[in-house]
Amino acid sequence: MATERNQKENEARVKRKPLISIPAPVDSLLAGWAGLALWLLLLLLLALYPYTGVSSVALFVGSQIFVLVTLASNWNLIGGMTGYVDFGHAVFFGIGAYIMGILVTGSPLLISPEWGFWQALPASGVAAALFALLIGLPTLRLKGPYFSIAMLGTLVAMREVARVLRPITGGGVGLNLPPLLNRLGDYYLMLAVMGLVVSIIWWIQRSEFGQSLIAIREDEIGAEMRGINTTLHKIVAFMIAAFFTGTVGGFWAWQNTYIDPDVVFVEARTVEMVMMSMLGGLGTVWGPPLGAVVIYFLQDLLWGSLFGVHLVALGVLLVVIVLFMPEGILGTLGDRSSTSLGRLLSRVGRSK
Amino acid sequence: MTSDQQPLLEGHTISKYFGGLAAVNNVDFAIYRGEIVGLIGPNGSGKTTLFDCLSRLQNIDNGQVFFKGRDVTRARPYQVARMGLTRTFQSVRVYRKMTVLRNMLISHQWRDTSILRMLQPSHASTAARAHQLLDFLQIGHLADEEAGHLSGGQRRLLEIGMALMPDPDILLLDEATSGVNPTLIETIKDRIRTLNEQGKTFLLIEHNINFIADLCSRVYVLNYGEKLAEGTPQEILQNEAVIDAYFGA
């Protein structure tokens, strides 16, 4: 009996082995200080990039990629590391965008003089973090798909709130922000925000706080029973993720110079964050940035070569990736901190 | 154990209902520092529910729980864990995707909850303690293995190690020998005895009567959620009501 069980366990162990394993030195290199050093080196190279005489379009593309990397990394903090798959994370992006819009235009709240960009940008993040606290206290009690649906509902509700609060948000007409074109400034600002966010995620993952988040993801009851204040950990992670997503929303509103409810409170933005994290490796530090870059260029490539059916092709490709690489690129390569969306969404059955 | 000594863990008229079913009904008990106490009963008698109530995983519908003299009836599970009450589970709960060592480290970290500490990796002394405990439990060689890759028995030992990491006052072990081979059972028994000699208190749920008889100084018997008997293992084994309910004689 016992032998039979051991045999089954051995078989299961063989099945669990990744297809390809990252050689141990590379794995530890990415996880430790060397990983951060490589990241800082990459940031330095990116900081020098504008000096190579690139066009303003290239700078714009750069800042867009940095936005995507930041959003994916933020989503990964609550979705991948903590295991709370947030299908409404774009709500924080929208709140950040609207706070920026309202403060810099001033008129809706009769603010005089209007706030400047540098004052409004942190305010966007703070507002999103406070909203995360407010909404997180009830929703983070839910598990698995229940949390996901509750957050999706929050996103839809906030879109309607923005539409209804016409005197403040401009309603369906939206808000026009001052058009100030500064591609180089945008590039460096988003490079800095991206650099900071990914470095923070790196730091969090190796800290006891980050390991507690992963413990919550793996077994929340077990974590609570072993002395981890799960509510506090989840709320803090949620607020950090919301703060930076709100900050990026504020920046995006400034760069885009126009916002309305259908542009900022949009489900597709969350889907984008989920896809990028999933492709790179949910719960890993470097997976979401990798996924964001791959998806950005993949979209570009498919648009150029399969125009007309490029979205279908992207969809099919992603389905294939989910089916055959459920733990993303880094998970397939043997990164132990990765997980799959299926595992996270099945958490409801393991709550007790 | 003297009656004038304050119990380490104490329950007064604990009741827990699931709809119309009384899973635990008016159960009183007291566990004193340094004891190994057994909790036995047929399947569905309310043993694990009582464990859940004591460790605060389940809310209690009636009664009170005191730990170290403090009323913890409404405390959160992490709070009683931090006070020094840790437990294992009937179906083992380990962090399967983490290494054995990481599982151990994570079970210790709340010993210092300052923000500065939380933002740092686990301290080297914590890792040393983890290695020491893993060696003590004879799974030191598996420290770098993923916990999900361990056998059932090894996972049980790991779970006991995780419960020991924060140096608790009392350990609640829920069927620690279930699915474990006889050699490992002897290891677990030996380790519990050693830890008890070092001052640890244990409350054990077990179906393995020999295990209980060998280790425990006192035993509580539950049946249909109610306390059927209490006494030394010898008294319990000769109790007619227990024999009738538990051994089906």
Burial classification of residue B27, based on how many CB atoms lie within 10 Å of its CB (0-12 exposed, 13-18 middle, 19 or more buried): buried
Structure tokens at A205: 């993952």
Structure tokens at B99: 């290494």
CB contact under 8 A, A219 and B82: no
Q: Give the angle subtended at the CA of B96 by the CAs of A1 and B43, to the nearest 5°.
A: 50
Q: What is the CA radius of gyration of chain B?
A: 18
| pLDDT score at B55 | 93
Count Cα neighbours of A67 within 13 Å in the Cβ-side half-sphere. Answer: 24
Rounded CA separation B59/B244 (Å): 31
Which of A209, A223, A339 lies at the smallest CB-CB distance from B119? A209
Query: From A32, which residue of chain B is nearest by alpha-carbon distance?
Result: B121
Report yes or no on B3 lying in a domain. Answer: no
Instruction: Count CB neighbours of A48 within 10 A.
Output: 9
DSSP A177: P
Cβ-proximal residues to A324 (8 Å cutoff; 6+ apart), any chain: none
Domain residue limits at B89:
9-96+168-246
Rounded CA separation A246/A270 (Å): 13
Cβ-proximal residues to A168 (8 Å cutoff; 6+ apart), any chain: A102, A108, A109
Structure tokens at A281: 């490796």
Beta-sheet pairing, B201-205 with B36-40:
parallel
Burial classification of residue A304, based on how many CB atoms lie within 10 Å of its CB (0-12 exposed, 13-18 middle, 19 or more buried): exposed
Chain A residues lying within 8 Å of B120, measured CB to CB? 207-208
| pLDDT score at A89 | 95
DSSP A171: G
- What are the b/e assignments for A270-300, b being 16+ CB within 10 Å? bebbbbbbbbbbbbbbbbbbbbbbebbebee
Range 66-125 of B in CB contact (< 8 A) with A: 76-78, 81-82, 86-87, 89, 93-99, 102, 105-107, 109-110, 113, 117-122
DSSP A282: B
Minimum distance, in Å, between the CA of residue A109 and any CA atom of chain B: 38
pLDDT digits (tens, 9 = 90+) for A93-150: 999 999 999 999 876 666 666 788 999 999 999 999 999 999 999 999 998 889 999 9
Return the CATH number at B27: 3.40.50.300
Instruction: Identify any residues that bridge with B21 across adjacent strands, giving them in sequence order.
Output: B18
Rounded CA separation A116/A109 (Å): 15
Amino acid at A229: N
A21 touching B, CB under 8 A?
no
Closest CA to A85 of A280, A295, A307, A271: A271
Query: From A205, which residue of chain B is nearest by alpha-carbon distance?
Result: B121
Chain B residues lying within 8 Å of A215, measured CB to CB? 95, 98, 106
Report yes or no on B103 lying in a domain. Answer: no
Minimum distance, in Å, between the CA of residue B157 and any CA atom of chain A: 16
Number of separate helices (H) and strands (E) present in chain A: 18, 2
Record the pTM. 0.88
| pLDDT score at A347 | 67
Could you write out the three-class secondary structure of A309-322? CHHHHHHHHHHHHH
Report yes or no on B120 lying in a domain. Answer: no
CB contact under 8 A, B106 and A226: yes
Q: Is A58 helix (H, G, I), strand (E, B) or coil?
A: helix
| pLDDT score at B67 | 95
Chain A residues lying within 8 Å of B116, measured CB to CB? none
Chain A residues lying within 8 Å of B121, measured CB to CB? 206-208
Q: Is A82 helix (H, G, I), strand (E, B) or coil?
A: coil
Weakly modelled stretches of chain A, pLDDT under 70: 1-31, 107-113, 347-352
Cβ-proximal residues to A252 (8 Å cutoff; 6+ apart), any chain: A67, A93, A96, A97, A264
Number of domains into which chain B is organized = 1
Report yes or no on B101 lying in a domain. Answer: no
B166 touching A, CB under 8 A?
yes
CB B120 within 8 A of CB A208: yes
- Indicate the domain borders of chain A: 35-266
CB contact under 8 A, B81 and A229: no
Which of B86, B99, B106 lies at the smallest CB-CB distance from A215? B106
pLDDT mean values, one per 10 residues, chain B (249 residues): 75 93 93 95 91 93 94 94 93 90 84 73 86 92 92 91 93 89 88 93 91 93 92 90 74
Report yes or no on B86 lying in a domain. Answer: yes
Probe site for chain B from A8, A14, A202, A226 (most B CB atoms < 10 A): A226
pLDDT digits (tens, 9 = 90+) for B195-246: 999 999 999 998 888 899 999 999 999 999 999 999 999 999 888 888 887 7
DSSP B119: T
Chain B residues lying within 8 Å of A227, measured CB to CB? 78, 81-82, 86, 107, 109-110, 166
CB A114 within 8 A of CB A233: no
B226 touching A, CB under 8 A?
no
Report yes or no on B34 lying in a domain. Answer: yes
A113 torsion bin: left (phi>0), alpha (psi -120 to 50), beta (else): beta
Report yes or no on B123 lying in a domain. Answer: no
Range 211-230 of A in CB contact (< 8 A) with B: 211-212, 214-215, 218-219, 221-230
Report yes or no on B2 lying in a domain. Answer: no
Which of A16, A209, A228 lies at the smallest CB-CB distance from B78? A228
Beta-sheet pairing, B85-87 with B170-174:
parallel
CB pairs under 8 A between A and B: 99
| pLDDT score at A87 | 93
CB contact under 8 A, A229 and B105: no
Dihedral, CA atoms, B234, B239, B245, B249, nearest 10 degrees? 90
Give the DSSP H or E segment for A223: helix A220-225
